[in-house]
Structure 1
Amino acid sequence: MKIRTGRCLCGAVAYRVEGEPLRVGLCHCADCRKSSGSAFVFFAVWPRPAFSHSGEIATFAGRSFCPACGGRLFCLRDDEAEIRVGSLDNAPTDLAPDYEVWIKRRETWLHPLPGAGQYAEDAD
């Protein structure tokens, strides 16, 4: 079984996910833009039982981050854990987005990913 690990910028919070993600995507919504400081967020979703973490986290509007360095890490729901792919310890070259959400807010200079599902808002 594949195990991936990640951590915040200062290393105070660490996490691991086991197995392959359920889905991998890009989000162009206004909340993701503001919380990441970027044009979009690259994320992957695992079943909640496949996720574990250590260290103290803070959470705002469902988004968890390190209270020391502010590194944005994951969103936890009862059934799923959504990881910010950029926080993984090793470059996730084997993970490619299979869908994009909130494309109505995608920058005009960003082109749709070939083969990825395209959703104006949240995917159903």
Structure 2
Amino acid sequence: MSRKRTGGCLCGAVRFELDGEPFLIGVCHCADCRKESGSAFTFYAKWPRAAFRVTGETRTYAGRDFCPACGARLFNLHAEDVELRVGSLDEAPTTIGSPSQEGWIKRRETWLAPIGGASQSTEDTPR
């Protein structure tokens, strides 16, 4: 039986389900991810698009889906996958594993150490 995960936005108007495990887990330090998250980096994971179901209305800005009611940033839908903001999962993200890649490390805060075992890209990480 495949593992199911659920999540959604802050107000609950958008909900989603995911089947199975992510095929990629990463962290991005780029300026866009900083601005969209309001944090020093974005923590994300990718699943095949077929493993993802969403209910509720979302809006999209520059490929980034969010809840129009509460503004919570949720995911990026691509043709073959969904890149999910791990903080939008209902359970603590520690159950999905550690990041395998870290992108835009030239913008990583000096007080953040590199993630052990993760590939390090100066700028973009491969999609």
TM exceeds 0.5?
yes
Which 4+ residue blocks in structure 1 deviate beyond 6 angstroms? Answer: none
Normalising by structure 2, we get a TM-score of 0.95
Partner residue of 2:39? 38
- Point out where structure 1 has 5 or more consecutive residues left out of the alignment: none
Of the candidates 93, 112, 115, which is equivalent to residue 114 of structure 2? 112
- Point out where structure 2 has 5 or more consecutive residues left out of the alignment: none
| Identical-residue share of aligned pairs (%) | 61
Partner residue of 2:105? 103
State the Cα deviation string for residues 27-56 of structure 1 (Å, max 9, x = none): 000000000000000000001111110000
Partner residue of 1:84? 85
Superposition RMSD on alpha carbons, in Å? 0.7
CA–CA separation in structure 2 for the residues paired with 1:66 and 1:23: 24
Offset of 1:92 from its aligned partner? 1.7
Normalising by structure 1, we get a TM-score of 0.98
State the Cα deviation string for residues 86-110 of structure 1 (Å, max 9, x = none): 0000102122111101111101111
The one-letter code matched in structure 2 to 1:116 is A
CA–CA separation in structure 1 for the residues paired with 2:35 and 2:93: 23
Matches within 5 A, 1:49-64: 49-64=50-65
